[in-house]
Amino acid sequence: MDTLSPLERSERMRRVRSKHTKPELVVRSLVHSLGYRYRLHVAALPGTPDLAFPGRHKVIFVHGCFWHRHGARCPLTRLPKSKLDYWRPKFEQNKKRDEKNRKRLRSAGWESLVIWECQLKDSETLVKRITAFLESPE
């Protein structure tokens, strides 16, 4: 049973952003501080990646653990308590869409890196992952 009315639920869902989220802003700031320059939300690329590095043919996706279903061990990947018949297919569709977009990018000669929301806590490891990804030869 949902604790919110349909109108309240609709309003809350309307506030969920797809661009310029807090996790994305953290990654953008970090990447910029490392000296890399990028393009935001390039619509011409499959999946409209959060950060695109055209000269390197590389992209970074910053995924929320809840919406993109990080994994069973991630505490942020919980299931809602109501309307599971709606949410389960939606989450599966999100995962399939993400994988399809990464395959399309790969076919077009682009490499991709997914950074999960929960991985932002360990900035030292994150810096190493991003640097290794961006500096690796194509």
Q: Are strands 111-116 and 58-63 parallel, antiparallel or unpaired?
A: parallel
Model confidence, pTM: 0.85
How far from 128 is each of 31, 58, 132, CA to CA, in Å? 11, 16, 6
Considering the domain boundaries, does residue 120 fall inside one? yes
Q: Is the pLDDT of residue 103 over 90?
A: yes
Considering the domain boundaries, does residue 91 fall inside one? yes
| pLDDT attached to residue 17 | 66
Q: Is the pLDDT of residue 135 over 80?
A: yes
Q: What CATH number does residue 89 fall under?
A: 3.40.960.10
Considering the domain boundaries, does residue 3 fall inside one? no
pLDDT tens digits, 41-86: 999 999 999 999 999 999 999 998 988 888 878 888 888 887 888 8
Considering the domain boundaries, does residue 4 fall inside one? no
Considering the domain boundaries, does residue 11 fall inside one? no
Considering the domain boundaries, does residue 92 fall inside one? yes
Q: Is the pLDDT of residue 2 over 90?
A: no
Which domain range does residue 62 map to? 17-135
- Place 15 in a pLDDT band, splitting at 50, 70 and 90: low
Among 109, 21, 111, CA closest to 59: 111
Considering the domain boundaries, does residue 1 fall inside one? no
| pLDDT attached to residue 13 | 65
Provide the number of structural domains found in the chain: 1
Considering the domain boundaries, does residue 10 fall inside one? no
